[in-house]
Amino acid sequence: MGTRGSALARAQTAIIAEALRALDPTMVLEVVVITTSGDRIAGPIPRETPSAPESVKGLFTKEIEEALLRREIDLAVHSLKDLPTPATPGLVITAVPARGDPRDVVISREGGVLRGLPLGARVGTGSARRDVLIREARPDLMVQPIRGNVDTRLRKLAAGEVDALVLAAAGLIRLGREAEITEWLPPEEFVPAPGQGALAVQVRADDEIARTLAGLDDAPTRRAVEAERLFADHVGGGCRMPVGAYAEQRDGRLTLTGMVHEGRPIRVTVSGEAEEGSRLAAEAAKAVGMGRTGSTAP
């Protein structure tokens, strides 16, 4: 099992390992830690801006995928939001287990919510999507780029480098740090990254182990995240533009909220049958394209 070396990556790999042992108690598992390009970057990763066409997608997955293709590992566990689209040739996502909490959350030193922070408070984030949504909610706030794993960011908050953080809920929950959350942000307004909260189990397309691993797949989660990722593809999310997408299946229907930023966040919500994710992604992309000034969705 290939994984990054962070505490969160190891915790996520342990979740998959436990689920695999439940499927097949005879399976022998070994965790192989792989350092990725993103792990080696000491400074801030360049912001997602339309003027910077190269993608940051793949910074945390490239070396792991290469190890899979070289047959040094048999499967990889990823945060789905880190995996670029389209899929790397020769590799497939064989399972997307039931999703964790997809929301973004606030952790503030004084225990407050985003709209209640003092005038000009410093909010740390490493995401351009969160940056534009924070500025929309509170134009007076000072958004500061911040790097490092969850523990590092929380230490920087405690040290007073920032007054608050916006992070993914799922990571905090998996690390047992949920009690430190001071606000849960609604996904329809503070639209998450495509695939946020979901894990992906990746294997070689020709490997027989895919059949066993497919038992971990959760169909409603897969439909939702596939619609989100298709929306991002349609609007050019791979070109480092701030993009959000959140889909949820309820009572046989799928609802998708998509968000792009072009001068301001533009949101649209569409719904249809659970199997219509591809159509809904295209419909949402077309709708937000019509909302842009002088442009249309691809």
Q: What are the sequence ranges of the domains in the chain?
A: 2-100+194-291, 104-184
Which of 82, 104, 131, 233 is the catalytic position?
82
pLDDT one-digit tens code per residue, 116-165: 999 999 999 989 999 999 999 999 999 999 988 898 999 999 999 999 99
Q: Does residue 82 have an active-site annotation? A: yes
- Position with higher pLDDT, 272 vs 85: 272
- Domain 104-184 class? alpha beta
* Average pLDDT estimate for 101-120: 95
- 2-100+194-291 shares its CATH topology with 104-184: yes
Whole-model pTM over 0.75: yes
Which one of 41-45, 243-247, 258-262 scores highest in mean pLDDT? 243-247
- Domain 2-100+194-291 class? alpha beta
pLDDT one-digit tens code per residue, 163-212: 999 999 999 999 999 999 999 999 999 999 999 999 999 999 999 999 88
- Position with higher pLDDT, 86 vs 252: 252
Look over the chain and give the mean of its residue pLDDT values, rounded to a whole number: 89
**DSSP per position, the chain:** -EE-SSHHHHHHHHHHHHHHHHH-TT-----EE---HHHH--SPPPP--TT--S--TTTTTHHHHHHHHTTS-S-EEEEGGGS-SSPPTTEEEEE-PSP----EEEEETTS--GGGSPTT-EEEES-HHHHHHHHHH-TTSEEEE--S-HHHHHHHHHTTS-SEEEEEHHHHHHTT-GGG--EEPPTTTSPPPTTTT-EEEEEETT-THHHHHGGG--HHHHHHHHHHHHHHHHHTGGGT--EEEEEEEETTEEEEEEEEESSSEEEEEEEEETT-HHHHHHHHHHHHHHHSTT----
